[in-house]
Structure 1
Amino acid sequence: MLRMIKRGFSIGKLICYIVLIIWAVITIYPLIYTFLTSFKTQTSMYTNMFGLPETWHFENYAGLFADMGFGKSIFNSFFITITTVVCQLVISCMVSFVITQIRFKSSNKVLGLFVIGMLIPAQVLIIPISIMAKYMDGYNNLPFLICVYIATGMPYMIFVICGFMKNLPKELMEAGLIDGCNGLKTFTKIVVPLSRPAIATMGMLSFIGTWNEMIIALILLKKNELKTVSLALNMFAGDRFSNFPGMCAAVMIGVLPTMLIYFIFQENIIAGMTAGAVKG
């Protein structure tokens, strides 16, 4: 025990590691259970609920595309999510640049309006969005849904990117002006490259949030051919019959893009968070 203490190991660390391991198991096991269930039949799911599949059935995955038209839902989700993320990043970066680098009299007030927008939950906007959709032909209209996502997600994105751009070295901006850079070149050649960590972090968070969003899409999208992955999961559950193995297969396909995005950009995300912490 003395040797363990000398090495910097203590009972407190041991308890901390045990708690973290238990938390990791609780967090990861539902994903493992869903993955294993996706390869079982409806019968074997009840007879062998927690064990490995006796026979690995890939029919659940094949049926998603052959019978349920799940491929169309995946395409809809990718189209909506990518369009939303790109538009949010472009607009948010431009607005943040104007607020932080091109100072004007009411710049802080404009930023304050976006901060107020962060305080409004999306659920509160359901009735106004429904009224707008009624008069603007927004039901079963993907561009209208994308505009709603862009508007509801921009306040937080602008707030974070503004906080990052405020701390960029002013000397670089001045050097760019001396070298003949106008506002557009300063934005594209200096500000955006230096803000990549924050932009990557916000892009990833926006991708995950838009991909998983369900409430607004449930209200605006009624046609099956327009449904996203989150809405398509409801097709596997009914009053008389529920295909839980098929639903688990759909869930695994649905979470795959967000997991890949996180693993690909995790270094940028960590860099953005730490840079913001140091600068803040």
Structure 2
Amino acid sequence: MKVTKQLILLLYALLILIPVSLVFLASFKTTPELYQHVFSLPKAWSLDNYRELFVNEAMTRYFFNSLFVTVVTIVVLLFFSSLISFSVIRLSKKVSWLVFTFFILGMMVPAQVNMIPVYILLDKLGLLDTFQGLILVTIAFLLPTAVFILTGFMRTVPKTIIEAARIDGASEWMIYRKMVLPLSLPGLASVGIFCSVMVWNDLLYPLLLLKSDDVKTLPVALLDFRGEYVTNYPIIFTGVVVASIPMILVFLFLQKYLVKGMTTGSVKG
């Protein structure tokens, strides 16, 4: 049984490692070399694709656009979703169920269904082709998921601690800020990592709402390398490698909280 599990894990690791390795190797190849030798090592480990990506194509601006949108979105999302989740666990049982159900229903609506209404609404508000419009839409799309996850974590906080603090005269804001929020850090980290990946890699809403070069995000900018007859795959793969670096760093710095959050959820969920 143990050997079977290890074999399954090994096969799963290979399924992930092989395409990732091919993408990484392709970022050092030229287009003819990529087509001729897909699975081989580069003949010369040249950084020309990386230089072209950031110097000639001004991808640095798009990279920081994505970084700005992701950071602002996650900070605002965590703030409001944690407030809503705290309210859910503190409201009466009936009202709590109604509020929680309202957000759960929001998870059932596909993003594609909202494309036309969202576009019309932002057009009327004058928020098309702006960071503000994209951030607001992304937060609205991710809020139900964040509330769903954080509510589960906050419900694991012992009610006796909250009630004791309430008896001692602590306000709801103090209970939220001093007690519930610190105890929910693993949940916040889990939501932050999960939603960061979704925001960073999102193509649908940036492609729909952003038009000018000044506000393009990295996934949208990488589409510029796709032509009608010729596609510069080495540059696209280089962009994929560069786009993966921030998410890898986020995971490395927050993996302790992520693992703790997953463990907490499995034990008390």
TM-score, normalised via structure 2 length: 0.95
Do structure 1's residue 137 and structure 2's residue 126 form an aligned pair? yes
CA distance in 2, matches of 1:232, 1:114: 33
* Matched AA of 1:201: S
Do structure 1's residue 92 and structure 2's residue 100 form an aligned pair? no
| Partner residue in 1 for 2:240 | 251
CA distance in 2, matches of 1:105, 1:242: 56
1:58 to 37, 44, 47: 47
CA distance in 1, matches of 2:251, 2:106: 27
Shift of 1:13: 3.5
Q: Is this contact kept in 2: 1:114–1:158, CA < 8 A? A: yes
Q: Is this contact kept in 2: 1:101–1:166, CA < 8 A? A: no
Alignment of structure 1 residues 27-176 onto 2, 5 Å: 27-103=16-92, 106-176=95-165
Q: Report the more deviating stretch, 165-174 or 84-93.
A: 165-174
| Partner residue in 2 for 1:269 | 258
| Partner residue in 2 for 1:5 | none
CA distance in 2, matches of 1:242, 1:170: 58
* Matched AA of 2:187: A
Aligned length, in residue pairs: 269
Q: Report the more deviating stretch, 52-61 or 265-274.
A: 265-274
**Aligned CA-pair RMSD:** 1.5
| Partner residue in 1 for 2:194 | 205
Flag structure 2 segments of 5+ consecutive residues without an equivalent: none
* Matched AA of 1:232: A
Flag structure 1 segments of 5+ consecutive residues without an equivalent: 1-11
- Structure 1 vs Structure 2: percent identity of aligned residues? 35
Q: Is this contact kept in 2: 1:80–1:142, CA < 8 A? A: yes
Shift of 1:223: 1.1
Flag the structure with larger Rg. Answer: 1
Q: Is this contact kept in 2: 1:41–1:57, CA < 8 A? A: no
Q: Report the more deviating stretch, 232-241 or 102-111.
A: 102-111
* Matched AA of 1:262: F
Shift of 1:102: 4.1
SS in 1 for 2:53: helix
CA distance in 2, matches of 1:103, 1:190: 20
CA displacement, residues 176-201 of structure 1 (integer Å, 9 cap, x when unaligned): 22433211111110000011111110
